[in-house]
Structure 1
Amino acid sequence: MSTFGSRLRELRINKELSQKELANHFKISESAVGMYEREQREPSFELVEKIADFFEVSTDYLLGRTNDSSLKETDEDSKINVAFYDGLKGFEDLDPDEQQFILDMVEDTVARFKKRKAERKAKKNK
């Protein structure tokens, strides 16, 4: 699956923008754009969201977590995202590995709860 840098470069080129033009739009340096594209530097979560909005793709697509670039989001997903991120003050201050550890734990916990819920429902229907 593609990385953030390759996706950013692909989207920028498809929109016929130079690194300088993209940098000017986001009020960052041209060298920062180049470093993002070469995976030598990582943008903040806030900038990732702004870039995704600018190119009208999902952040998951931009980060290489999916090949689906659409912005489909259910109301339930939206509620989960707001509740999750609003409750994590200081999350952006953590190292990327620490952030990923937390996200993985939350994902695992949600999967366990869904499994339990399905098991309870199956028991009820017997």
Structure 2
Amino acid sequence: MKLADLLKELRGDESLRTAAKRMNISYSYLSLLENGIDKRTGKPVKPSPETLHQIAKAYKYDYMKLIKISGYLDDEKFNPELQEPFPTNPSLQLWYKSLPNNKEDDVEKLKNMWEIIQSSVSK
């Protein structure tokens, strides 16, 4: 599937303006991304990784899948099933995989706690 088609599918019935506002991009740029080709130049449109992150966050979609479909990673280097985190600790794997299902605020709190732990260890 092409990025343009995926973006149209993810947006569904939501207006371009509403979706773009949630991503902090212009609606005209979102339209350009959904078309896939810049009509002025005739060249494909490739959003930055930062823009893809904003899109992933707005649509609650896997960022790495957007990175891959946008051509930043090729199939040989990207296979999430083969890149299991914490291969020797199943309980840690389950915890790690559950993170995307949690509220963003909760994950942010966890990140802050981790930073506190890291800073106290390095002292």
Normalised by the length of structure 2, the TM-score is 0.46
Return the structure number with greater helix share: 1
Q: Which has the higher contact order (CA 8 A, sep 6+)?
A: 1
Q: TM-score normalised to the size of structure 1?
A: 0.45
